[in-house]
Copies of this chain bind each other. A is one copy, B any other.
Amino acid sequence: MSFARFFAPAAGVPGDRILLPVDEAEHLTRVLRLSNGDRVRVFNGRGAEFEAVVDAADREGVRLTIGAPCVPAPEPRVDITLAQAVLKGDKMDDVVRDAVMMGVAAIHPIVTARTETSLTSLTRGRRRERWERIAVSSAKQCGRAVVPSIAESRQFNASTGSSARTRGEDFPSPVFILVEPNTSAGVALANLEVAIPDRATLVVGPEGGWTTEEVEAAATLGTLVTLGQRTLRADAMALVALSAMFARWGEF
């Protein structure tokens, strides 16, 4: 028998009595119709998962007592940071959902020369909060006990805009920048070094691709990588690249 899973960031050690976040409490009571005495599982988003029992489910929220720890689904051996150019409409929602399912460690939404939105409109639209909710929902669905962090959106400037130190902290090396099939400096994935890193960053551009200047600047930040000979849709790029890299790194 499998128990329903909930995101409970407050869950620390067995015996803790905690309150579920509002969204999770609604899911528990309204969607799944669970109540006092029901057994569930909770994960804290930082890799720990526990059995738990519902103590109270009323207007004041859902209170649980944390029980025995469970073995969480294993995380990938390579911590991957995805730096993804914000896509049009709600395509970015799909990318966040897919990247969390695949097991990325962090997502950095970036605004590039051809990104068709601005930092201001992303802030005004509270997009980060939306993507955080999607990340929680995807972690619940795919069985992860880790909820990847969603960084504040920011301008992507591979060259002079950010210092090497800043870049190093945010975008763990090695950095792989996905480029179009016929980019001259692009290296096929098959021709990359085979050593499996502890962490890596994958940078994916917007629908309109990178400008020539961005490609040149990006070449100083990491390796330009091509994925086969066909043109991939921007909203499929991250999923294809993560799959290919996990296959290459023995994760699959």
Contact = CB atoms under 8 A, between A and B. Distances in A.
Interface of A: 73-74, 76, 98, 101-103, 141-144, 188-190, 226-233, 236, 239-241, 243-248, 250-252
Contacts of A190: 247, 250-252
22 contacts: A73-B231, A74-B229, A101-B233, A101-B236, A102-B240, A103-B228, A141-B233, A142-B230, A142-B231, A143-B230, A143-B231, A144-B230, A189-B252, A228-B251, A228-B252, A239-B240, A240-B243, A241-B243, A244-B246, A244-B252, A247-B248, A248-B248
Contacts of A143: 230-231
Contact of A247 (B229, B230, B236, B245): B245
A208 to B, nearest CB: 14
A98 B236 contact: yes
Nearest to A229: B74
A230 B243 CA distance: 12
Nearest to A244: B247
A1 to B, nearest CB: 15
A101 B233 CA distance: 8
Nearest to A233: B101
Contacts of A245: 247
A251 B250 CA distance: 17
Nearest to A97: B233
A247 B226 CA distance: 11
Contacts of A188: 252
A211 to B, nearest CB: 17
Given A102-B240, A142-B231, A240-B243, 7 more contacts: A101-B233, A190-B247, A226-B252, A228-B252, A239-B239, A244-B246, A247-B248
B141 A231 contact: yes
A151 to B, nearest CB: 22
Contact of A243 (B141, B226, B247): B247
A142 B233 contact: yes
Q: Which of A239, A243, A251 has the most CB of B within 10 A?
A: A243
B247 A189 contact: yes
